[in-house]
Amino acid sequence: MNEVKKAVSWMSLAGVTLLSLGVPLIFWKWTMQPFITPKSISFYAGFTLLLISFIAAVLSDKKYRPDWKLIWPPVLYFGVIFLWTMLFGSDRLLALAAQPERQTGLVFLFAFSLLPIMLSSLREFISWRFAVYGVFVSSILTALPLIFWNSSLDKFFLSVTKADRAAAWFGNPTYAAGFMLLSFFGLLAFGFMETGKKRIIAFVSAGLSFGGILMTQTRGDLGGLLIGFFVFALVAGVLKAVREKKISLRNYWLSFLAVMVLIFAGWYFTRSASFWRVIPGYERISDSSVLLSGMQNRFYAWGSLWKGIKEKPLTGWGWENANYPFNKYYDPRLVVNDFAESSWDKPHNTFIEHLVVAGIFGLLAYLVFLFWPVYLVFKNDSRDLVKAAYVGGLVSYMVRSAVIFDTVGTYVLLALAFGYALHISSKKDGWAEKIIPHSSFEYTNLFAGIAVGLVFVFLVPIPLLRSMKAQWLGTNYYLNSRFPQSYASYEEARGVWLSPHARAILIGEANLIKNAAEKGVQYPEILFLSKDLAESLRRLIKDNPNNYYYPVFMAGYLNVFGSGEEDLKEAKEMAQKALSINPNRQEALYHLAKTNLLLGDKEAARDSMEKAVLANPSAGDPRFFYSVLLFDMGNIKEAIIQLEESRRLGREPKSVDEAATIGDILGDKAGDYAGAVKYYALARDLAVGEGADSKKIARLGLKEGIAWYLAGDYRKAKEEFNRYATPAVVRELPMFENLEPVFKSLGVTY
């Protein structure tokens, strides 16, 4: 083997290592999207090394060229998605890069589709056993922090663990579970096929993966695991029976299936027993009401997207463009007590997603892509357990994909599984032997691969990393009150050449300075900066007239930075533009109401808030803000009705300011001092929970005492005054002169 061939071999090994070990395990806290960005970089790095090796090998010897009879499904899949997006897509630029939270745009999809082709061509340079071991090690290292989540050992994983559910190195429970789910079936098959220590290690690893998936509490992955496990055993049992030409009790797979059915029946009849409650998140999978309530928003979103599918059944809306039909056919029932579920960039269903983005042809190409490697394995691999692992893995993947979308972890394993299927098929068909080898592994071939690889690196991962790093610095400087540096870092992020997320960075910077202004923090050169960002936002809206998010953001932005009537009129136009896409978007109606208030038109503001309430009468959030507006307009009776209704629907104040404001309104405008007491107490408790300074907490406590005093309960008023009245706090109050006689009458000392 000459030096060039050795280089190709080592680069292939490094590429597979980055895919199987790097992608699952790498994270970096010092960048935006600290889990997604490093994994994407690792994916692109592995892809680049394999691309260099692939080009060098193909140029050197014909036997490394792909067999088109085998590789047409990934070519078809990417070709349909790419062509349909370029011809009919709503937002081609967004399609190329996707949102920063996903980073799975067309560029990523291109690399993903090419990976199995390159892996099969480089079969002589890749140790598939090493690749499998890499995935297994990643699964184990991912499972361990999940299993020890919230235990005494969790301190070793605090930097990568979510507070509510285990997430490990992926930063998201579902992302971690999806990776382990697909690797689980490989571990299972490997364990049954090996002997001795290797079998024990494989089974222990499979058990750890099972436990890790359980700890993520992700219903789709748990359902996929159980159903896929059942299918794995069924396929293995049927294949064994066919091979032996008989069905008997010695067929342990079929016996195992019977045991599984009995275990499931036992669980079903005892599912309400207390001993099951030790399983983390058990109610999420056992309680049908909890399960359905968690799925309800998906049903609403899918209903909106289905209307988009019916509008464009053949062409779709473009890759990563699902937000366009979602916003056009938005269902206002998605807003209840907050806006957390009102913005969807993914359908949370991979099959619906392909229908939405590429129509029926895209879905068919996707299904062919999924089933083709299974077909190849059944045709070319004689091992029953490998076939069972592919079928079980595919079924589990399809079950999870019915309620979630693909991530970099699942993409990597799909590519590796497809690549292995192509590898054994190429070997089986004798493709390598059909061509007389004429090796010419020369430096020119290697340099050609390196040149293409460098072009890819400078076009994709480097701009991604630079822009995400600079944006992180800008946000971090802001949090540390270093505003000049924050401004400079964001400007650097926006200026990165070929930044894949330039628009998201622009929105991020504008949102940051808007939030800062609302909190009374002023950036340097704020007048120039706010106008410069506004101009950039105007260009963004002009270039993307059908994107709902840009005009609605601009409306809120101008409500903060508008310097005159013209700016407010523009804010009104932006809100109306957003509402022209869908008139039931409560967020746009909120902004329109605020703009009208700033223009002094309270009746128009009331009309907007009334529409927000009527869009979904069972939502508490619109009623809460509607009540505040009604109080301000002097309609006390109706305001109290709306406030009480919002509370009945579950909308309580979420912040100190909200609770304190309602307390002020009830006391000052409605004369309901007993009601004001409740909100002041809530505001004080929220302030304590947020770690607010002692003076702020004391002022809220004194307000509660004043409300008790005005309500006629002098004993409780005295308790609150004695608890919170200190000279430093009391003398700062505007009402100090009025309070001093009250303190004296109650015997309060401070």
Q: What is the pLDDT of residues 376-386, one digit of tens each?
A: 999 999 899 99
Q: Distance (Å, rounded) from C-alpha 161 to C-alpha 215? A: 12
Q: What share of the chain is helix, strand, coil (3-state, %, to 5)?
A: 75, 0, 25
Q: Decide: helix, strand or coil at residue 166.
A: coil
Cβ atoms of residues 408 and 176 within 8 Å: no
Q: Distance (Å, rounded) from C-alpha 726 to C-alpha 742? A: 15
In DSSP notation, 326-373 reads: HHHT--GGG-SSSSTTS--SS-S-HHHHHHHHHHHHHHHHHHHHHHHH
Q: Distance (Å, rounded) from C-alpha 344 to C-alpha 358? A: 18
Q: What is the pLDDT of residue 128?
A: 87
Q: Where in the chain are the domains?
A: 3-452, 661-750
CA distance to 366, 640, 647, 698, per residue, from 653 (Å): 46, 15, 9, 19
Closest CA to 513 of 545, 477, 539, 538: 477
Cβ atoms of residues 331 and 53 within 8 Å: no
Residue 612: DSSP 8-state: H
Q: Distance (Å, rounded) from C-alpha 44 to C-alpha 667? A: 60
Cβ atoms within 10 Å of 303's Cβ, excluding its own: 12
Q: What is the pLDDT of residue 155?
A: 55
Cβ atoms within 10 Å of 566's Cβ, excluding its own: 10
**Greatest CA separation for the chain:** 107
Q: What is the pLDDT of residue 435?
A: 38
Closest CA to 550 of 91, 107, 89, 32: 91
**234: which 2 tokens?**
């069924």
**137: which 2 tokens?**
């090690």
Q: What is the pLDDT of residue 61?
A: 86
Q: What is the pLDDT of residue 531?
A: 92
Side chain identity, residue 717: A
In DSSP notation, 407-432 reads: -HHHHHHHHHHHHHHHHHHHHHTTHH
The pTM score is: 0.91
Q: Distance (Å, rounded) from C-alpha 727 to C-alpha 724? A: 10
Q: What is the pLDDT of residue 736?
A: 63
For tokens 């005494």, what's the residue?
152
Q: What is the pLDDT of residue 171?
A: 84
Closest CA to 175 of 324, 309, 16, 23: 23
| Distance, CA of 215 to chain centre | 18
For tokens 């807003």, what's the residue?
335
**79: which 2 tokens?**
């070709």
Residue range 660-681, pLDDT digits in tens? 999 999 998 889 999 999 999 9
Q: What is the pLDDT of residue 432?
A: 40
Instruction: Tell me which residues of the chain have a pLDDT lower than 70.
Output: 1, 151-164, 248-251, 275, 278-294, 427-440, 728, 730, 733-737
Cβ atoms of residues 182 and 228 within 8 Å: no
Helix runs in 90-149, H state only: 92-97, 106-121, 128-147
CA distance to 250, 252, 254, 387, 743, per residue, from 247 (Å): 8, 10, 9, 19, 91
Question: Which residue pairs from 592-595 have beta carbons closer than 8 angstroms and sit at least 24 positions apart in sequence?
Answer: 592/555, 593/625, 593/629, 594/556, 594/559, 595/555, 595/558, 595/559, 595/568, 595/571
In DSSP notation, 28-92 reads: -SSSSSTTHHHHHHHHHHHHHHHHHHHHHHHHH-GGGS--HHHHHHHHHHHHHHHHHHHHH-S-H
Q: What is the pLDDT of residue 377?
A: 96
